[in-house]
Amino acid sequence: MEQNLARLPIFPLSNVVLFPRIRTPLHIFEPRYRQMAEAALAGERRIVMAVIRPEFVADASGEPPIFDIACAGAIAESERLPDGRFHIMLQGTERVRILREETRPTGQLFRSAEVRPLADPCPPEAAARISEMRSRMSSLVGELIEGIHGEEPLASVRDIDDAAFVNSLCNALPLSTPEKQALLEAEGILERSRCLIDILEFARAEHRARRVPNSSVFH
């Protein structure tokens, strides 16, 4: 096996996208995922969050196809409840490509796969351009949210670095799962910023159209 490959448990969901450096709380209750949590906690404490392809969401109780670009995460906090369920806090660590799912050994209920880490560059030479785009994103979010109890909507993330800022917005904004998956698949912070601005500008256009009588938005 190549040194940069890993074999990790897969946690497929239809409505949650994990981003690098972002923490996501998870409630683990199905027997197969309780087993997955136990195995991860006993080992490297790492799992891969993958999104179920939309056309197969109805088969979520089985083993539906998933997107091959996903995000690995480390279990930062865990609580096992008396009935065997888990509350865990998963810290996104890196984007990965799922290369192949493995044949499960007897008794293993959860899916696992061989994955390869993917770069998520935020090069210094792009800092000026990303800074401009960051200002644009802040402006668009401010227009859409129109203030939260009079406070600046992005005050809590104003001082974090560019990569954390962009990934925090991707995680926190009420975007659709396909939109978030597309953002995760964007190669690098610059490209993710471009994609997010496109999504926000489209949302702003829809918002403005709804406020204008007799207007139409074509899809």
pLDDT tens digits, one per residue of 171-183: 999 899 999 999 9
Assigned CATH topology for domain 124-211: Methane Monooxygenase Hydroxylase; Chain G, domain 1 (1.20.58)
35: Cβ–Cβ under 8 A, 6 or more apart, which residues?
108, 109, 110
Band (3; pLDDT cuts 50, 70, 90): low
CA atoms within 13 A on the CB side of 139: 8
DSSP 8-state code for residue 63: -
Q: Which ranges of 97-176 would DSSP assign to H, the alpha helix?
A: 127-145, 162-172
- Are 14 and 62 contacting, i.e. CB atoms less than 8 angstroms apart? no
200: Cβ–Cβ under 8 A, 6 or more apart, which residues?
137, 140, 141, 144
Query: Cα-flanking dihedrals φ and ψ of residue 59, to 5°?
Result: -100, 25
What pLDDT score was predicted for residue 217? 41
Confidence check: pLDDT of 21 > 50: yes
What pLDDT score was predicted for residue 215? 43
Does the model's pTM come out above 0.85?
Answer: yes
**Between residues 187 and 148, which one has the greater pLDDT?**
187
**Domain boundaries of the chain, sorted by first residue:** 6-117, 124-211
CATH class of 6-117: mainly beta
Q: Which tens digits make up the pLDDT trace of 138-163?
A: 889 888 876 433 445 565 566 789 99
Residue 213's H or E segment, with its range, is none
Q: Which tens digits make up the pLDDT trace of 22-53?
A: 999 999 999 999 999 999 999 999 999 999 99
Query: Residue 112's beta-bridge partner residues?
Result: 9
